[in-house]
Structure 1
Amino acid sequence: MGKGSRKKGPKTTSDRKPKVRDVFVGQPFEGLAAETELIALREFVPSATAALTLGSGEKVTLGTVLPMAAAAFVRSDGERYIGMQVQTRSSDISRDLGRALQWVLEAKEGDVLSVPDTTTPPTADEKARLQDLLDTDVELDVTLYNDFAWWLPEDADASGDVALSLERANAAIMPTERLGAGAYWVLAGEKAHLRWVRPEPENLLLQALARLSAAGELGLGEGSRYAGSFRAHGLLVPVWDLDPEAHAREWADAKDQLGTRLEAALKSLDTEPLNAAERRSRDGLIGRQLTIR
């Protein structure tokens, strides 16, 4: 055996690093009453906030996008924020947000968490998911904005990177109105849409949508068309194309009426399976889906 060469013995149990299985969580907000709202805020609502109250009584503001897409920050006036739309994620978005929430509770004014902790394996006793930190029965009271001025304290002026980020973020905002829990009208250029995050299991929702489609009751009235759906964080998001000349409030009643028809269709599935025409409609709806992870 040459100089300096040394045969290594077998690794002991204490030498081996524990193997961590980081399992992808397909429905990260399951169990939260605000599940559909959280998905909307994560995926397509441009500028909005909602107050979070922890079991300890601490208050934090949930925002769609923070300056420079940060995961969390503390404003100069002490207001604490966590962001939904960030640049990185782990296999469990709820855990990412929970960790950002715990970080911001201990942060000081001016502190910024650029990205959430997505690499450190969770410990056996770690409780860092939103479901562990929030009251699962509480809905979100969402406030929409036409810009991102809420990033700054009242009467404060932006400067440097924050000013540049604010300018870019404001320029990207599309007019958006909330029509109910998880339901948002958006004017996207020359087109308008209704995106509606639904809480039902995908298979049941597709059957109910198919029943309405076969009966010619899936639209929102004149100037509307069912466009398809996409999956987001375990739930299905049906989308309707709408007449862009009509304001959001002009679709509010039609959306509520559609919701009533949809609830009735869901209930009817308990006793009436889909007929041949409805099954064909379901197959057509399935073919118009896009998965967003």
Structure 2
Amino acid sequence: MAKKTRTRATTAGDNPRRPCPCGSGRRYKACHGAGDDVIVTRPFAGLAAECDLVAMREFLPSATAPLPLRDAGGRTVTLATVLPGASAALVRPDGEILLGMQVQTRSGDLSSDLARALTWGLAAEPGAALPVVGPGLAADPTRLQDVLDADAELDLTLHADFSWWSAEAEPSAEVSATLERANSAIVPTEPITADGVRAAYWVDTGTKAHLRWVRPEPEERLLAALARLHARGELGLGEDTRYAGAFRAHGLLVPVWDVDRDLHPKEWAGPAAAFAARLNAALGADAPLTDAERRARDALSGKQVTLR
């Protein structure tokens, strides 16, 4: 896991020579202190929940998780993939705060956006909704790393639909129609649960089934380990599987495999655990890559795309 981000400073003008709270490693005055909307490529660095946060942002359809805050002031705060109207946050009538991950308009720092949406929720009246969080860190450099228990993972729940949107036992016709439209767009997704496996998900796109696995390692280190496995013919998850490539999202690499769509998602737990053991061994190797492994690394590099 990457080095933890420094805690925030009190004001934007306080010691502009200090490291920027976004974790870029640059001085504040040359980063967010310059007033520009700087892109933070790895917004959740330093958090044990980083991989789950990336999954919720990028490809989980309907999922929720209690947000492990250091101090919620007695309030219940729930992180969600998508909220009604693609809102950044909303407050239920009972005071529960919901924060949305998949919001179209964002600043260059997702961590800051979420922290600011949380601040809004703690002050908002029940029933209020926040459509979007504005750009920039200048007004408030608070980030998720400043308010979250950095060592806590997310206790994710994947839902088959969006019925959790409504707190009503019998929603109105308008709410029911909204739920029906949202439910029709859900791509079936299931978590892969096994020893040594975290943030891996089976996804059925309708024509193919994939296994997507968000990895916490730095890209070069992970790519070298995958290359070692590829050179030995150990990159697959078993019969009728194929390593399809990987995409980069928020500073992490997400390897993807094509898998047999006819098998139940739970049947991939064993193959995923076996692969995790092989990968951990490859990650621990410190010998230089062989010629065959370097060729494998080059081939794998050509199968990567950047989403964010």
TM-score (normalised: structure 2): 0.84
Opposite residue 25 of structure 1, the aligned amino acid is V
Shift of the 47–219 alpha-carbon distance from structure 1 to 2, 3 Å rule, reads same
Residue among 107, 129, 141 paired with 2:143: 129
Give yes or no for contact 1:148–1:166 (8 Å, CA) kept in 2: yes
CA deviations on 1:59-79 (whole Å, 9 max, x unpaired) are 300000000111001123332
Residue among 173, 187, 190 paired with 1:177: 190
CA deviations on 1:261-290 (whole Å, 9 max, x unpaired) are 00000101x2x1110111111000000111
Distance 1:59 1:75 in 2: 10
Higher strand share: 1
Offset at residue 130 of structure 1 (A): 0.5
Residue 158 (structure 2) pairs with residue 144 (structure 1): yes
Distance 1:127 1:59 in 2: 23
Offset at residue 152 of structure 1 (A): 1.2
Offset at residue 55 of structure 1 (A): 2.0
The match for 2:110 is 93
- In structure 1, stretches of 5+ residues that fail to align are 1-17
The match for 1:166 is 179
Residue among 84, 92, 99 paired with 1:67: 84
Question: % of aligned pairs identical?
Answer: 59
Offset at residue 80 of structure 1 (A): 1.5
Offset at residue 158 of structure 1 (A): 4.1
Distance 1:186 1:26 in 2: 25
Distance 1:36 1:228 in 2: 18
Offset at residue 250 of structure 1 (A): 0.5
The match for 2:48 is 33
Residue among 41, 49, 62 paired with 2:64: 49
Residue among 268, 273, 285 paired with 1:251: 268
Opposite residue 173 of structure 1, the aligned amino acid is I
Structure 2 counterpart SS, 1:244? coil
Offset at residue 169 of structure 1 (A): 1.3
Between Structure 1 and Structure 2, whose CA radius of gyration is higher? 1
Structure 2 counterpart SS, 1:73? strand
Distance 1:122 1:159 in 2: 43
Offset at residue 56 of structure 1 (A): 2.0
- In structure 2, stretches of 5+ residues that fail to align are 1-32
Offset at residue 127 of structure 1 (A): 4.3
Offset at residue 163 of structure 1 (A): 3.8
The match for 1:82 is 99
Shift of the 84–94 alpha-carbon distance from structure 1 to 2, 3 Å rule, reads same
Distance 1:181 1:66 in 2: 25
Residue among 96, 106, 111 paired with 2:123: 106
Give yes or no for contact 2:215–2:254 (8 Å, CA) kept in 1: yes
CA deviations on 1:145-203 (whole Å, 9 max, x unpaired) are 0000111115141443x444322210011111111421110111021000001000000
TM-score (normalised: structure 1): 0.88
Shift of the 42–19 alpha-carbon distance from structure 1 to 2, 3 Å rule, reads closer
Distance 1:121 1:186 in 2: 35
Distance 1:20 1:135 in 2: 29
The match for 1:15 is none
